[in-house]
Chain A
Amino acid sequence: MTEDPLKPDFSMVMASSVHDMKNSLSMLLHSLELISDELPEEMKKSGKVATLQYEAERVNNDLIQLLGVYRLENDKLSVHIDEHYIRDFLEEQAARYEVLLSSRSIALSIECEDDLIGYFDRDMTAGIINNTLTNAARYTRDKITLKAYHDGHNTVFEITDNGTGYPAAMCNAPGKIFKGIDFETGSTSLGLYFAYQVARLHKQGDQVGSIELENGGDLGGGVFRISLP
């Protein structure tokens, strides 16, 4: 209305920059797909294409989180809860990682009933699952399972792997405290913080969403679990 036109709203700048970067990422990922179709077999297997794809996905996840956390701080993040077919949703997330995982000989399986229905914010939950998958792709030995089921009133998503698991310190109250950035590992713990906040935005009656980290599970590695009421 009477805002100073010379002083841009930072949230708008951020949103439009993210939009622009996402357009670029779309082009980048698509060109990559085209190039990889033309490559000889041995180069396809070398994993360089997969690395490019992996890093592009990571940039995308970071962008989503960046904008999400910024909005969280400004109390502008809200969830749009809708009904979704969980199997379709999980297959879509898995499809993003198809090339990457097969180049690393990692087997990804989905365990979910065909007509399972859940109520959640599709894009934000996708962001969390993608972020966890990116992470799992890095630390697992050769297996990842993407699982979904109903537990009472909750819809539960579980991502398990057969790697060495999460550091014990992380499993304690994950995401509740933003631990700052560890420059040595590059881990920002931003992902968990974001996941925790998004889970908490999912409410139903007096129930609130939550996340858990543990080691073990069916595959003996790390287990990430998000329960949404």
Chain B
Amino acid sequence: MNIKETAALPKTYKRLKFLIVDDFESFRMSVKQMLRSFGVEHIDVSGNGKDAVQKCTFERYDIVLCDHNMGEGQTGQQVIEELRFHKRLKHTSLFILVTAETSKEVVIGTKECQPDGYIAKPITKAVLQKRMDALILQRQALLPINKELDLENYPKAITLCTQEINKGSRYKSWCHKTLAHLYYQTGDYQHAQKIYDDILNRREIAWARLGLGKVQMAQQQYPEAIQHFKRLIEDNKDCVEAYDHLSEAYEKIGKRKEAQTILQQATSISPLAVPRQKHLGELCTTNQDLEGAISAYKATVKYCNNSVHDSADNYLNLGRVLSDSSEGGDTEKSKEYAEEAINVLDKVAKKFSSNSVKANACLIETRVHQGQNNDEASKASFAIADSLIDEASIDPKTGIEFAKTLYSISDTERAEQVLHALAQRFENDKSILSSIEELLDEPVGLRQKMKARELNKKGISFFEEGQFTHAINTFKDALKEAPKHPALNLNLVQVALKSFENTTPDKGDIKQLEQYLDNVRHIPSQHRQHKRLVSLTKKVTALSQSENAN
């Protein structure tokens, strides 16, 4: 440490505002005394994370010293996450995490959640002073850059970083890291990549490898990005951010199974992160892994307490996937899922007083009861939901939930009305339209969908082997699960037509084919099966005419 700079430190300490956060009063007192002896005048203390966050709302602290493991309440890492999330911590402030041991309990999270420094317990005066001196000198040196970062004046920050590097600064490594990130943020990927490449040419450094991968992701170079993230994980098994990006890259190239596996590894390293668990739940649902989805959504509900991620969606997602799992069975397991679903949904309706949450919860409950053949309870839940819903102004998510429930209680007409109205109101929103379309395609539960899909596959392979009768019967079985499914109905028509090459169809056969085609009439002209519908309709019509001619 430079002697001249160190000499000016007592004056600096005097100006700085400190906050000490620890659940032990004696510990707070002892650190407070140490700081006083360094010349600090403004010191506040806090006994838990919640209080600390509140204090940071009303006061701008320069330095926060926060214990990681604070018993029941928030962890230090959750505190920093919340502060950064609400932008209550400036770049110019320092957040220092006090830990008993850093190796395992604090897993390196995303850049946003990383503290500016760690101090390991036990803390003695001499050690605290050395560490604080070093951190404060660094803070002073980098203050101009961090001020620009707070103002989001990135071009200026870039200039200052470059100047600091050219000066041969002691903190040039911090500057390189910040500079590359700034280039990345401002979309100047070439410059960002050059910094990362230069650093990696000299030495393997995790943040540079991660940065390089992210730059390539941003330029849609997914296979290259995947290589970087894989290598990073090989060297640093605990680097959860690398897993997150790797999973995202797999998703981008359509490898959803791999994406799920990688994200599952990340959640086992760092189970507390709610957004990751939520995303895993969504992935599992798309991959039709109900067990996986249940486990992920359960984690979101378990860990969202005390965190900025506490939202009704966590509970509703869990309720939804439990409801799907409970469907179509009177096994013990199915009953268990149903009970669990009701518990979660009751809880969310109580916890969040909004009408929309209550309506969603009741809609899902309706389906759960329906699945357990409990008509009375199902009707009761639906009545509550119906009273809370105003169809004309319904939000799209609730609307889709509403339609799904209407299908399940066999009110197909009203379900289609709801969906058509929604489609009109949100005709420009692609993602809403595709959810609507999906529901119109297969207005059945997930379990039935999965069964129908499996039978469809089987039917296709029978067809390919030339076993038409088997194929037809299998498709018919599938239609029992998903009667309006376009591809299924059309497959069935196609196989039937093929089988008529050998046998002559009678009137009844043709009537049946027309029925299958009618099952699919609800699809709009943009639908991917629409062309096939038109061409098969022509063939069936031709067949029917030739039959009449006979």
Chain A interface (Cβ within 8 Å of chain B)? 1, 15-16, 18-19, 22-23, 25-31, 33-34, 56, 60, 64, 67-68, 71, 76-81, 83, 85, 87-88, 91-92, 95-96, 98-99, 114-115, 117, 119, 121-124, 126, 203-205
Q: Is A1 a contact of B295 with CB atoms below 8 Å?
A: yes
A95 surroundings in chain B (CB, below 8 A): 124, 126-127, 129-130
A56 to B126, CA, bound (A): 15
Q: Told that A29-B124, A30-B34, A78-B104 touch, could you supply 14 new A-B pairs with CB distance under 8 A? A: A19-B69, A19-B101, A22-B100, A22-B121, A26-B121, A67-B101, A71-B104, A80-B102, A80-B238, A83-B173, A92-B131, A121-B103, A204-B204, A205-B204
Q: Is A114 in contact with B2, judged by CB distance below 8 angstroms?
A: yes
Chain A CB within 8 A of B1 CB: yes
Contact of A30 among B30, B69, B203 (CB under 8 A): B30
Secondary structure call for the A interface: helix
Chain A residues lying within 8 Å of B173, measured Cβ to Cβ, are: 83, 117
Determine if B203 and A33 form an interchain contact, defined as CB atoms under 8 angstroms apart: no
Residues of B within 8 A of A76 (CB): 104
Q: How distant is the Cα of A117 from the Cα of B171 in the complex, in angstroms?
A: 10
Do A123 and B125 touch (CB < 8 A)? no
Q: Which residues of B contact A33 (CB under 8 A)?
A: 124-125
In this complex, what residue of A is CB-closest to B69? A19
CB distance from A44 to the nearest CB of B (A): 15
A115 to B238, CA, bound (A): 29
> Chain B binding site: helix, strand, loop or mixed by DSSP?
loop
- Interface of B with A (CB < 8 Å)? 1-2, 24, 26-27, 30, 33-34, 69, 100-105, 108, 118, 120-127, 129-131, 134, 170, 173, 203-206, 235-238, 295
- What are 20 A-B pairs with beta-carbon distances under 8 A? A15-B105, A18-B101, A19-B100, A22-B122, A23-B27, A23-B100, A23-B122, A25-B122, A26-B123, A29-B122, A30-B34, A30-B123, A68-B103, A83-B173, A83-B205, A96-B124, A114-B1, A123-B102, A124-B103, A126-B120
The residue that A96 contacts in the complex, of B34, B108, B126, with Cβ under 8 A, is B126
Which chain A residue lies CB-closest to B237? Answer: A78
Contacting pair B126 A80 (CB below 8 A): no
Contact B27 A27 (CB under 8 A): yes
- Could you tell me the distance in whole angstroms from the C-beta of A25 to the nearest C-beta in chain B? 4
Option from B130, B170, B295 in Cβ contact (under 8 Å) with A91: B130
Among A15, A26, A91, which residue has its beta carbon within 8 angstroms of that of B27? A26
| Cα distance A58–B543 in the bound complex, in angstroms | 93
Task: Give the top 3 A-B pairs by smallest Cβ distance, nearest first.
Answer: A95-B126, A26-B122, A19-B100
- B103, A26: Cβ atoms under 8 Å? no
Q: Which residues of B contact A68 (CB under 8 A)?
A: 103
In angstroms, Cα B223 to Cα A150, docked, is 37
